[in-house]
Amino acid sequence: MRLPVLKEQLPAPSSSSCSSKVELEGPNSHFLHAGQVHVSQNAQSIVMILGSCAAVCIWDPVNAIGGATHFLLPVWDGRGVASPRYGNVAISALMQKLTEAGAHKQQFRAKVFGGGCLFDSMRGQNSIREHLGKRNVQMAQEILSKEHILVISVEAGIDKGQRVVFHPNSGASSVTIL
């Protein structure tokens, strides 16, 4: 049984400067590795390659400040170091960095990407638990809902990798299936 691709598109608020046109990355791009958080007030792109990892992109369209996090696991279990490798730690760190940069939480908008299941053995009826990618995306959506952050789109659950390009000052994004 294949998991359906979750792709929800909600209308952007009229004050948003979201655009569907996204240029390829160039000298003003930042590659975001797993376990990292990046915030920018500049006209640049954030590029991520995702499989079962998830990415949460949050921006303040009024102040043109945004950022992203790329995480591997849904929840830090309290052992070891609380790092942005874990979704709950990463999303909290992203929101804090955005606020420190001058963004206002009441204006936050979000997009969620990734959460694929790239291994056949983890799909279908033979799988005892939900696969890691799905748990990553579910946890991200739960945190964003709890924080009352409007989720503009979710592109998740694809059984292939994704290359995501996100523009933090506008919220524009593009996804290429790998």
CATH at 39: 3.30.1330.200
Burial of 148 from C-beta contacts in 10 A (0-12 / 13-18 / 19+): exposed
pLDDT tens, position by position, 109-120: 999 999 998 755
Q: What percent of the chain has pLDDT over 90?
A: 70
CA gap 156, 51 in Å, rounded:
10
- 28 pLDDT band, cuts 50/70/90, is confident
For 61-100, what is each residue's pLDDT tens digit? 999 999 999 999 999 999 988 999 999 999 999 999 999 9
* Average pLDDT of the chain to the nearest whole number: 84
The verdict on residue 110 lying in a domain is yes
1 lies in some domain: no
Q: Which residue segment(s) compose the domain that 118 sits in?
A: 6-21+29-177
Task: State the Cα angle at 13 between 15 and 139, rounded to 5°.
Answer: 130
Query: What tokens appear for 56 in the block?
Result: 């949460």
What whole-number distance in Å separates Cα of residue 25 and Cα of residue 161?
A: 18
Pairwise CA distance, residues 158 & 54, whole Å: 12
> In this prediction, what percent of the chain has a pLDDT beyond 70?
79
